[in-house]
Chain A
Amino acid sequence: SSEPTQDPALSVALGQTVRITCQGDSLRNYYTSWYQQKPRQAPVLVIYGKNNRPSGIPDRFSGSRSGDTASLTITGAQAEDEADYYCNSRGSSANHRWVFGGGTKLTVL
């Protein structure tokens, strides 16, 4: 299965809302998880399943899905939300067990 597609870069004004999308065939069959990665740090899970946040992730992060498109929404973006965001889903075959989107670089203005 091919890699899900994400916008390479987005920007959002401080305190405003931004939606990061991820599109791909595999997203129709499996939930999408989202990871935040700041420079020189490991990825951190921010959303999984239908719309679940791990402990410690602020409730301004939420997830949704419609058809082949999954979305990560940040409502009231903060300066510390500036990071790369990757979507991830199960793939459709053994040699594509997991697929990642290309990532979206989010800038908070």
Chain B
Amino acid sequence: EVQVVESGGGLLQPGGSLRLSCAASGFSFSSYEMNWVRQAPGKGLEWVSHISSTGNTKYYADSVTGRFIISRDNSKNSLYLQINSLRAEDTAIYYCARESPSVDWYFDLWGRGTLVTVSS
């Protein structure tokens, strides 16, 4: 089955760090560019970060630049998001989303997400 499954969320204190993981299966992970998208409670979707298929190119939203680090390990079919200096506003469900290689530009596969709660 083609799927991506996120893990690593939890209850963290402000200022802390954590690493989210996204395990891909059923497709050639190394051929796809990947993204993280988050959704704060009761809010809309927010694009967070992008990584190219090789991992050589990375982009971040302004709101997370300098604190978040995206990476991948194609040998393990896995995507990661290192989150540092956690803030209350980082509280959200974090989704792993596969970017279609089509020039139509869209996300063609989403995971169920992992919840990150930042609270003291």
* A4-53 contacts to B (CB < 8 Å): 30-31, 33, 35, 37, 41-45, 48-50, 52
Does the CB pair B46–A100 fall under 8 Å?
Answer: yes
Residues in A neighbouring B27, C-beta threshold 8 A: none
Which residue of the partner chain A has the closest CB to B50?
A: A97
Residues in B neighbouring A86, C-beta threshold 8 A: 44-45
Does the CB pair A48–B112 fall under 8 Å?
Answer: no
Give a binary string over B6-30; 1 marks a CB under 8 Å from any A CB, 0 the rest. 0000000000000000000000000
A-B interface pairs (CB < 8 A), number: 70
Does the CB pair B107–A88 fall under 8 Å?
Answer: yes
Does the CB pair B104–A48 fall under 8 Å?
Answer: yes
Which residues from chain B sit less than 8 Å from chain A, CB to CB?
35, 37, 44-47, 50, 59-62, 65, 95, 100, 102, 104-108, 110-113
Between-chain CB contacts (< 8 Å), 29 pairs: A31-B104, A31-B106, A33-B104, A33-B106, A35-B45, A35-B107, A42-B111, A42-B113, A43-B95, A45-B106, A45-B107, A48-B100, A48-B102, A48-B104, A49-B106, A52-B104, A84-B44, A86-B45, A88-B45, A89-B105, A90-B105, A95-B65, A97-B47, A98-B35, A98-B47, A98-B50, A100-B37, A102-B44, A103-B45
